[in-house]
Amino acid sequence: MLNALHIAATGMAAQQLNVETISNNLANMNTPGFKRSRVDFAALVSQGTDAGLVDRSKPVMQLAPTGHRSGGIGVSVASVKTLFDPGEPKRTDRPLDLMIEGDGFLEVTMPDGSRAFSRGGSLKLDADGALLTQGGFPLKPAIFVPEGAQSLTIAADGSISLRSSAQGQRVGLGHLHLARFANASALEPMADGLYRSSEASGDAISGLPGDVGFGTIKQGHVEAGNVRLVDEYVGLMLAQRAYEASAKVVQASDEMLAMANNLRK
């Protein structure tokens, strides 16, 4: 009965995280470029004769010291994956809006000098004319747009040019670079729609838009979030029912313990 309490508690903790993940997906369904997350579960199994050797207070995957298998001890959260399936393109016709069609991320430089990665969106200019993300982080390599520039064009291959107001001719400003990862779902989400690499994602692989394995740039568009409302609602109902089932197991175990405590000779 004590095991049943602990097992049900791991189920409730895991489903609570599942509900929180789905809630975050729904809250950001209108955020441009947002990528939904999914919780993956795994069974907790005790392999020792003493099941108490396993710390049941933490809903993470763990095994007791080697020994014979003594049964399941609950559920754990194996991972929370970010799913990078594409969102629908939304046309804005703004020259500093761009989306990546296909695989790839724009690299940005953080204030501490570290690297972060973005799927694009609405860019802006600072006082010096540098291209920044909406969060205010400069692109890498840095690209500067001179004052008085007209008709800024970002081609599908990432080349950026403009028409100078002084000469009336198109002038190249630079080239956008992309990065991709062997396991993009293992990237760690950050604020402002940014991601950073992790040991599981692998190092960034750099390239140019249109190269083999890399997407292309689409100017005047932003990528909508890839959240599907119906799928999230169904997942939320399933998570709620699973949580309620675990709660009923706790209630039943408590009632059985109360009956045992009330036994008289």
- Tell me: do 147 and 195 sit in the same domain: yes
What percentage of the chain reaches a pLDDT higher than 90? Answer: 64
- Tell me: do 62 and 98 sit in the same domain: no
Mean of per-residue pLDDT scores for the chain? 86
Of 58, 6, 13, 15, which is closest to residue 39 (Cα–Cα)? 15
Q: If pLDDT is split at 50, 70 and 90, which confidence band does 54 have?
A: very low
Q: If pLDDT is split at 50, 70 and 90, which confidence band does 111 have?
A: very high
Mean pLDDT lowest among 20-29, 166-175, 240-249: 166-175
| 208-221 tens-digit pLDDT | 999 999 999 999 99
- CA–chain centroid gap for 135, Å, is 17
Q: Considering all CA atoms of the chain, what is the largest pairwise distance in Å, rounded to the nearest integer?
A: 103
Report CA dihedral (142, 145, 151, 153) to the nearest 10 degrees. Answer: -10
- Tell me: do 103 and 183 sit in the same domain: yes
- Tell me: do 156 and 183 sit in the same domain: yes
Average pLDDT over residues 136-163: 88
Q: 118 Cβ partners below 8 Å, 6+ apart? A: 33, 105, 106, 108, 133, 193, 194, 195
For the stretch 68-73, contacts whose Cβ atoms lie closer than 8 Å and that sit 24 or more positions apart, written own/partner, are 69/45, 70/46, 71/45, 71/46, 72/7, 72/43, 72/44, 72/45, 72/46, 73/3, 73/6, 73/7, 73/10, 73/44, 73/45, 73/46
Q: If pLDDT is split at 50, 70 and 90, which confidence band does 146 have?
A: confident
What integer pLDDT is reported at residue 61 of this predicted model? 46
User: Comparing 262 with 55, which gets the higher pLDDT?
Assistant: 262
User: In what helix (H) or strand (E) does residue 11 lie, and over which residues does it extend?
Assistant: helix 2-27
- Tell me: do 237 and 163 sit in the same domain: no
Query: Rounded to 5 degrees, what are φ and ψ at 255?
Result: -65, -40
156 pLDDT more than 90: yes
Q: How many C-beta atoms lie closer than 10 Å to residue 73's C-beta?
A: 20
Average pLDDT over residues 44-71: 51
User: Comparing 47 with 127, which gets the higher pLDDT?
Assistant: 127
- Could you list the beta-strand ranges (E) of 5-55: 37-46
> What domain range is 26 assigned to?
2-82+227-261
169 pLDDT more than 80: no
**What residues pair up with 171 in beta bridges, in sequence order?**
162
Domains held by the chain: number: 2
What integer pLDDT is reported at residue 263 of this predicted model? 76
- Tell me: do 208 and 95 sit in the same domain: yes
- Tell me: do 178 and 117 sit in the same domain: yes
Mean pLDDT lowest among 21-25, 152-156, 165-169, 259-263: 165-169
- Tell me: do 234 and 248 sit in the same domain: yes
**Gap between the Cα atoms of 86 and 250, Å rounded:** 41
What integer pLDDT is reported at residue 51 of this predicted model? 42
Q: 246 Cβ partners below 8 Å, 6+ apart? A: 8, 9, 11, 12, 15
- Tell me: do 195 and 141 sit in the same domain: yes
**Gap between the Cα atoms of 5 and 248, Å rounded:** 10
- Tell me: do 78 and 144 sit in the same domain: no
Mean pLDDT lowest among 7-21, 63-77, 81-95: 63-77
- Tell me: do 139 and 59 sit in the same domain: no
Place of tokens 């692989």: 205
**Gap between the Cα atoms of 124 and 166, Å rounded:** 23
Q: If pLDDT is split at 50, 70 and 90, which confidence band does 52 have?
A: very low
What integer pLDDT is reported at residue 264 of this predicted model? 65
- Tell me: do 233 and 205 sit in the same domain: no
